[in-house]
């Protein structure tokens, strides 16, 4: 069953990258959009562009999901505007570079709030309405990193993505008889601002082009997976091959392999002074 054009989607982290690409993908299907991120100017520009291109309704709500009350306030604002959300794209996220102790705990606490707590809370608050209406779609943007051994540096990133994968699996099984489809969409290396924010642009720029996907490719393939009813979907054939091969290796060998390759996509740790 395809999403009727009268439905609304909420996209977090919609101001750039995969979030923006998902917004464009859904807009092309005639779905109305609520876009949220911290950068209000970008949200406004995107909303106006999608509204004029696709003749849909768009709303913007600037929010910082690192705030503990942000998800509740966001849902309250949706209620105030009379908008019912049937499609949730939990995309907001970023990376914290360097070794675990290189950052104060408050930085890690904000990270967990955005990448773990906010997706769970938004699903918790929006699921009851989806269940009542007998229709829902939730895409939790996880990562290939959640499937492969983690390396030194970004200690909480892979862990948070592995959590989203397991969370999506349980949520999907709990709601599969209600026409509510939940999918952990797991991209690999994607052209976006992510690596600029983490300071790893110089490192990842040396990686071969065949390892990369565009945000648009990820969104297109990811949404198709959601509609098919896939519970976990790794985007791109190369990434699926990497996942399969890593699973076949003994844990120690897989860890060593990932650790050696991590120098291509980890930044220098200011505390340790080594490539991460």
Q: Position of tokens 């990193």?
A: 145
Cα separation, 68 vs 216, in Å, equals 31
> Which phi-psi region, left, alpha or beta, contains residue 105 (left: φ > 0; alpha: ψ -120 to 50)?
alpha
- Please state the separation of Cα 188 from the chain's center in Å: 11
Q: Position of tokens 């910082």?
A: 64
Kind of pairing between the strands at 212-214 and 232-234: unpaired
**How many other C-beta atoms can be found within 10 angstroms of the C-beta atom of residue 262?**
18
Reported residue count of the chain is 276
Residue 98 per-residue DSSP state: S
Find the catalytic residue in 94, 100, 135, 157.
Answer: 157
Q: Position of tokens 């026409």?
A: 179
Told to judge if 124 belongs to the known catalytic residues of this protein, a careful annotator would answer no
Q: Catalytic positions, please? A: 157
């Amino acid at each position: 069953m395809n999403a009727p054009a009268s439905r609304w989607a909420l996209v977090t982290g919609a101001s750039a990258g995969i979030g923006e690409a998902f917004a464009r993908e859904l807009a092309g299907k005639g779905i109305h959009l609520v876009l949220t991120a911290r950068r209000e100017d970008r949200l406004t520009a995107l909303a106006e562009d999608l509204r004029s291109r696709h003749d849909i309704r768009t709303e913007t709500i600037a929010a910082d999901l690192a705030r503990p009350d942000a998800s509740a306030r966001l849902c309250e604002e949706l209620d105030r505007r009379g908008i019912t959300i049937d499609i949730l794209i939990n995309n907001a996220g970023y990376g914290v570079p360097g070794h675990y102790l290189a950052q104060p705990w408050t930085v890690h606490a904000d990270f967990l709030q955005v990448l773990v707590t906010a997706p769970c809370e938004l699903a918790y608050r929006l699921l009851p309405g989806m269940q009542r209406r007998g229709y829902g779609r939730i895409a939790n943007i996880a990562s290939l990193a959640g499937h492969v051994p983690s390396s030194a540096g970004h200690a909480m990133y892979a862990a948070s993505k592995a959590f989203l994968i397991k969370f999506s699996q349980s949520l999907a099984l709990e709601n599969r008889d209600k026409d509510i489809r939940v999918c952990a969409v797991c991209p690999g290396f994607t052209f976006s601002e992510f690596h600029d924010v983490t300071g790893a642009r110089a490192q990842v720029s040396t990686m071969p082009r065949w390892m990369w996907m565009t945000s648009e490719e990820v969104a297109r393939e990811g949404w198709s997976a959601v509609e098919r009813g896939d519970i976990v979907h790794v985007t791109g054939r190369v990434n699926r091959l990497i996942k399969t091969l890593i699973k076949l290796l003994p844990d120690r060998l897989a860890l060593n392999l990932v650790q050696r390759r991590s120098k291509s996509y980890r930044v220098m740790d200011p505390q340790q002074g080594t490539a991460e």
